[in-house]
Amino acid sequence: MEELIGDRRVEDERSLIKTPSDVQASAREHDSSTSTRQTRSVQRGSPCFVYTLAFFSALGGFLFGYDTGVVSGAMLLLKREMNLSSLWQELLVSITVGAAAVSSLAGGYLNGLYGRRICILLASFIFSAGGIILSVAPNKEVLLCGRLTVGLGIGIASMTVPVYIAEVSPSELRGQLVTINTLFITGGQFIASVVDGVFSYLPHDGWRYMLGLSVVPAALQFLGFLFLPESPRWLLQKGDTQNARLVLSRIRGGVNVDEEYESIRSSIEEEKIDAGEGPVLWRILTFAPARRALIVGCGLQMFQQLSGINTVMYYSATILQMSGVQDDQMAIWLASATAFTNFLFTLLGVWLVDRVGRRKLTLGSILGTAASLMVLAAGFLLTAQASPPVTFHPNDPSLHNSTCITYGFCESCMLNPDCGFCYGKNGTVVIESSCLPVDVANTGAAAAGRCSNGTQESLGVFWAYNYCPTSYSWIVLLGLILYLAFFAPGMGPMPWTVNSEIYPLWARSTGNACSAGVNWICNVLVSLTFLHVAQFLTYYGAFFLYSGLALLGFVFVVGCLPETKGLRLEEIEPLFGRQLCSCGAGGTPSVHYTRVNGGNYRSEEDLTDDE
Ligand SMILES: O[C@H]1[C@H](O)[C@@H](O)[C@H](O)[C@@H](O)[C@H]1O
């Protein structure tokens, strides 16, 4: 070991011999000292340029949100105009998420090799090409091609943008600026729902505008990034020291960047030794602190999706319909209201992240998410228990072969996606109710019988697809609002923010690629299985399940997520020097990684570290 320490410079050693508790103590110091933060900002100069960089990069987040959000409204029109079967509808929705999963993994390799800037340019180019293909598509095969193309863009953007923003931001603004990316994701989802609403009134080709409009932000981002710089950390890693210093000083508003530059440079020197030999993923898996960071990063992304955000968003229009909004045209605007609430509460997250820190924000958010899911589930449970019986059996011979007419209660009827509940009302009491097959081209009406024109309040006929009339809808609505209020500020953005900062530079691209891949894979899994889970466990069972998974996530965060607020990216690695699932705890670590100018040397206790 002595030989290894050898002739390296002593000053590097001083800054790098840190135990995890030292680093956490420095985080706490930072926490308590607002004046330090202010002094740091003054030293850093105006963050105006950094905000510009964050804005143009976060357009990638906007496109991620827009392209995943816009498809639901576009599909309503497409299925009629192109006569799409449900298999084609599912294909068009899930191919984008599937392609994002694959390209986020590939994005790790591209990021390491060509840099963040090239990857963002590539993503915006792909987004533009995808938007053009979608807007001119003559048939469903070309549409599929376009959806696949935008998915490739989303995957690359989703893993590159947070990394780029984290690497250009000063530490005291990093949390806020990376979280702005998630604000743009939810903003993109909201704008997509408004665009869906506006163009749904066009009799023809409305979907072309919905899908094609994404070209505008994509082209803006492409043009912007032609003039914006590469991440100074990536430049330094590639040995381009001159440009790295220039870019850093430009980003920091021309103030003296010697200290920051030196700290990044010496950390990169250190990492050359940490990094070892072989493929990066292998090196991450065999180097304990990087491996632990990867487990924490992937775990957070997994629990984000397993808490059911995309299911709740998707199901929100129905939840709101349950609460009494019967007008079908309204459904699309109701989805906008949910998307707006998600956006609004993400804004709260931007405000909180550098004030309360990542750990507290995530803990509060996931606990509240679990509790709100229980409220949602309880609402569905009460609704199921009070489910109205089927009392009216229509004589129409075309219905005799339908399984829908075999159901005795609304609950079992609505759990079959081919059926809906048609009923009348006497005050608040449901009367003359039947279970009828749904019109496949328009789920707002039955295929035959009294409800074949959908709900007609003037005639006293009501059509409920996917839900049952209930007086407990207020509990479900309360659950939905609480869910968004808790999820959006913490569990929505924190997995992206934390992942952008916990890996050492040599492992950052690959670490983010893997965790973004986990996010997309879990996203596909949850959305593809939701209807089956609901049929098997009923809706309340499904939401109780998500709530249980969120509680599991809470335990994971309590044990494993260290606080990274206020620390420089180079100061974060030692936080993962202790055994996994004691990262969150204070006190003296049982395992020491002593960084002596170049290596993380395992102390004796570490030999027992086998997480
Ligand atoms: O962080 C985002 C955000 O919360 C979105 O609303 C959600 O659709 C995405 O899946 C998630 O990754």
The complex scores an ipTM of: 0.98
pLDDT at 419: 94
Tokens of 146: 């376009």
Ligand 1, atom 4, residue with closest C-alpha = 492
Q: Which amino acid belongs to residue 390?
A: V
The percentage of the chain sitting over the pLDDT mark of 90, rounded to a whole number, equals 59
Q: Which of 66, 97, 304 to mutate to test the pocket of ligand 1 (most atoms within 8 A of CB)?
A: 304
| Distance, CA of 316 to chain centre | 17
> In ligand 1, which atom is closest to the CA atom of 301?
12
Ligand 1, atom 11, residue with closest C-alpha = 492
CA of 593 to the centre of ligand 1 (A): 35
CA of 309 to the centre of ligand 1 (A): 7
Provide φ and ψ at 451, rounded to 5°: -95, 20
CA of 230 to the centre of ligand 1 (A): 26
pLDDT at 37: 42
Q: Which of 186, 347, 499, 525 to mutate to test the pocket of ligand 1 (most atoms within 8 A of CB)?
A: 186
Cα–Cα separations (whole angstroms), residue 170 to 176, 230, 538: 10, 15, 48
pLDDT at 111: 94
pLDDT at 388: 93
CA of 7 to the centre of ligand 1 (A): 49
Q: Mark the ranges of the chain whose per-residue pLDDT is less than 50.
A: 1-45, 586-611
> Do 373 and 543 touch, CB atoms closer than 8 A?
yes
> In ligand 1, which atom is closest to the CA atom of 346?
4
CA of 185 to the centre of ligand 1 (A): 7
- The residues facing 593 across adjacent strands are 602
> Do 120 and 60 touch, CB atoms closer than 8 A?
yes
> In ligand 1, which atom is closest to the CA atom of 342?
6
CB atoms near residue 274 (< 10 Å) = 21
Name the helix (H) or strand (E) containing 430: strand 429-439
Ligand 1, atom 8, residue with closest C-alpha = 310
CA of 306 to the centre of ligand 1 (A): 12
Residue 413, helix vs strand vs coil = helix
CA of 313 to the centre of ligand 1 (A): 10
Protein residues with CB under 6 Å of any ligand 1 atom: 182, 185-186, 189, 304, 309-310, 342, 492-493, 519, 523
Q: What is the DSSP letter of 586?
A: -
Provide φ and ψ at 439, rounded to 5°: -75, 115
In tens, the pLDDT along 379-420 reads 999 988 999 999 988 888 878 888 999 999 999 998 888 999
Residue 30, helix vs strand vs coil = helix
Report the distance separating Cα 526 and Cα 513, nearest Å.
20
CA of 340 to the centre of ligand 1 (A): 13
SS (H, E, C) 551-601: HHHHHHHHHHCCCCCCCCHHHCHHHHCCCCCCCCCCCCCCCCEEEECCEEE
pLDDT at 398: 79
- The residues facing 442 across adjacent strands are 439
Residue 442, helix vs strand vs coil = strand
Tokens of 595: 């960084």
Number of helices (H) and strands (E), helices first, in the chain?
24, 6
> Do 328 and 469 touch, CB atoms closer than 8 A?
no
Report the distance separating Cα 537 and Cα 403, nearest Å.
20
CA of 484 to the centre of ligand 1 (A): 11
Ligand 1, atom 2, residue with closest C-alpha = 492
Ligand 1, atom 10, residue with closest C-alpha = 310
| Distance, CA of 137 to chain centre | 29
CA of 390 to the centre of ligand 1 (A): 39
Ligand 1, atom 1, residue with closest C-alpha = 492
Long-range contacts of the stretch 270-273 (C-beta < 8 A, 24+): 270/12, 270/16, 270/595, 270/597, 270/598, 270/599, 271/504, 271/505, 271/506, 272/506, 272/598, 273/598, 273/599
CA of 301 to the centre of ligand 1 (A): 10
Tokens of 35: 């004046």
> In ligand 1, which atom is closest to the CA atom of 158?
12
Report the distance separating Cα 411 and Cα 413, nearest Å.
5
CA of 504 to the centre of ligand 1 (A): 25
> Do 510 and 305 touch, CB atoms closer than 8 A?
no
What the chain holds in terms of domains, given with CATH numbers, is 45-228 (1.20.1250.20), 284-386+471-575 (1.20.1250.20), 388-469 (no CATH)
Ligand 1, atom 6, residue with closest C-alpha = 186
> In ligand 1, which atom is closest to the CA atom of 68?
8
> Do 320 and 338 touch, CB atoms closer than 8 A?
yes
CA of 468 to the centre of ligand 1 (A): 28
